[in-house]
Amino acid sequence: MFPMFEPGEWYLVVTCHGCKTMLKVFRDPGNRTYSPSGNYILTCPECEHRGAYSMDQVERYQHLEGKVGTSD
């Protein structure tokens, strides 16, 4: 599932430790040039797993044109 991803935009995402769903950390404000730091604690809307994610687990993702996002 792709919650509120806009086609053509870049995002920082992680993979849920519980169910492997792609979780949006936030939209990349630099379109691939932003370098965030720190750790993120997120709760998966699919399996409700609450996990801590370090920057080495964060990936960049560009949502492709034509995919339809869903609501959070």
Is 4 domain-assigned? no
Is 1 domain-assigned? no
What is the reported pTM? Answer: 0.73
Is 2 domain-assigned? no
Give the range of the structural domain holding residue 40, as residue numbers without chain letter: 10-62
How many independent structural domains does the chain possess?
1
Is 44 domain-assigned? yes
The pLDDT tens digits of the residues spanning 4-61 come to 788 888 898 999 999 999 999 888 877 677 676 788 999 999 999 999 999 889 998 9
Residue 1 confidence (pLDDT) above 50 = no
Is 70 domain-assigned? no
3 pLDDT band (50/70/90 cuts)?
A: low
DSSP states of 6-66 as a string?
Answer: PTT-EEEEEE-TTT--EEEEEE-TTSS-----SEEEEE-TTT--EEEEEGGG-EEEEPPTT
Is 20 domain-assigned? yes
